[in-house]
Chains A and B, each alone.
Chain A
């Protein structure tokens, strides 16, 4: 069916509104001004230079990388077995819902609850404390994507392997693991991105000693109205795009994610 001009017009409007802030971020990241404005009086890379010299942002970025990598690994270790159990029907489907329950609550509330619990344990502004907090919101994504991905495997394959003489253990390593690999890589990528981007919960749990990049960006924006954060954001987007595209090239990310939504 042909798309009418009204639809086209309204959709263009929607896309414009949705993408405007991101386009603006890209433009002002190369602004020479020291305020947030448009159009920039002239262009320069001064904010990227400033970023490369901002020790606070750089150390926060290091923390975030370490934290997100750790959280991703633990989330996979914890989430994959559960997803396998649900996808195979060894555990009832309600388990999947249960494990994604934290997504139903505002992260602000979860952050506050974790603050109250972790403070007396002296786990505020520590990697273990932050990792535990991130795990709560990252695990649901791993469980969901992996459950769908494992349940989407062609049926009967394990039965077929069994009739051909493969024990359950061999069938798992020879059939299930290779076929699940794309889903694992996709969910690891998403887990990393969700953790790296998490800000609200972290906001309650960081401190002067240890902060994440997303929190540092938030705090900076509270105090300064200049394009430094735009430079951070553009750098992150560039890295994200490269990572997502290469993962997509590798395993068909959009196909795996597409099956979930």
Chain B
């Protein structure tokens, strides 16, 4: 049986549903990310697991034991809050020791394990500092050490990296994942940042209006989105609307090929910008759309093109490795092509 099981959880605020019939299982030691826009119910879900919110219905099981009615201080779940919620009047060491004290760990063991935890997050030198004397990244590590110090059954991370700047975020992402693997904590991770979710999680649960829109591996969620919502929310896309006709999808100005198309009906097509190429005159592809280059933005690794076509404006990313992008200028007429296998479609 899975280590953490959420069973048909629901929670409404003043009649407005925040989480609806949500079920999820997390295997021991794995990391599941709840990915969604703000207001999708991901934080409410996490707070219900922590015991900080009471579900209107449904249950939460840890190791098969029902903890739904347990108050938070009896759940032994390590939580890293978005604001870190470090106790400002306590040193880093005292923050880390607090939970152990509450669980009756004696003073000597508290000091020893506290030092271990601070060393684990690379803050052995800073144990006597107060939170306000530390940088954002250091505070984040103290929060993680504090949550891990109580040897939690489950680790809950609520947007733990969102308050940090981009570069530090990337560093800590790698570090946190390594620490989580090392201690083997079953982890539920809430984020609105898809790169974070894809990079860190074993499984990603994409949330929409209080429900899980898709649960899958990062590759599944990105390459094989289960719904137009997931396709649109995770990653960027070129989107075309059309109708199935003659074994292909008719859009204005082109007919597209795709795998496993139905016999008829209205269809929405998604193509990832990096799966498309600007074609040389002699080149061919399964699908080809003609368009005019509206803008080109150099972002380093790729150049992002904006293309106007009869079926609408869409983005195309081309690698900058070969320098071919330099020859493109706004106003140029282009042929853009991709393979049938890269064509995602949903019945509209």
Interface residues of A (CB under 8 A from B): 154-157, 159-168, 170-171, 174-175, 178-179
Contacts and interface: CB of A to CB of B under 8 A. Distances in A.
B52 A163 contact: yes
Contacts of B79: 159-160, 163
Contacts of A154: 83, 85, 88
Interface stretch (B95-103, B163-171, B206-214, B255-263): B95-103
A168 B51 CA distance: 13
A170 B156 CA distance: 22
B126 interface: no
B83 A162 contact: no
19 contacts: A156-B81, A156-B82, A159-B85, A160-B79, A160-B86, A161-B98, A162-B51, A162-B72, A163-B50, A163-B72, A163-B77, A163-B156, A164-B99, A164-B146, A164-B150, A166-B98, A166-B102, A170-B102, A171-B73
Contact of B73 (A155, A156, A166, A178): A166
Closest 8 CB pairs of A and B: A164-B99, A165-B102, A156-B85, A160-B85, A162-B72, A163-B79, A166-B102, A156-B81
Contacts of B89: 178-179
Contacts of A163: 50-52, 72-73, 75, 77-79, 147, 156
B71 interface: yes
B188 to A, nearest CB: 13
A164 B102 contact: yes
B88 A165 contact: no
Contacts of A171: 73
A163 B52 CA distance: 8
Contacts of A159: 50, 52, 72, 79, 81, 85
B276 to A, nearest CB: 44
Contacts of A179: 88-89
B346 interface: no
A162 B87 CA distance: 12
B73 A162 contact: yes
A170 B102 CA distance: 9
Contacts, number: 69
A18 B322 CA distance: 74
A167 B72 CA distance: 9
A21 B82 CA distance: 53
Contacts of B51: 162-163
Contacts of A161: 73, 87, 98, 102
Contacts of B77: 163
A254 B79 CA distance: 35
Interface in B177-201: none
Given A159-B52, A159-B81, A160-B79, A165 B150 contact: yes
B78 A157 contact: no
A165 B85 CA distance: 15
Nearest to A170: B102
Nearest to B103: A165
Contacts of B52: 159, 162-163
A216 B85 CA distance: 51
Given A163-B73, A165-B150, A166-B102, 4 more contacts: A155-B85, A160-B86, A165-B73, A171-B73
Nearest to A163: B79
B146 A156 contact: no
Contact of A165 (B50, B76, B86, B87): B76
A62 B74 CA distance: 53
Residue from A161, A165, A167, A178 with most neighbouring chain B CB atoms (10 Å)? A165
A161 B94 CA distance: 12
B98 A164 contact: yes
A178 B88 CA distance: 10
A165 B104 CA distance: 10
A162 B50 CA distance: 9
A77 B99 CA distance: 31
Nearest to A179: B89
Contacts of B74: 165
Contact of A167 (B73, B82, B88, B146): B73
A165 B99 contact: yes
Contacts of A160: 79, 81, 85-87
A160 B52 CA distance: 10
A149 to B, nearest CB: 14
B324 to A, nearest CB: 51
A159 B77 CA distance: 12
Nearest to B50: A163
B118 to A, nearest CB: 16
Given A162-B71, A165-B73, A156 B99 contact: no
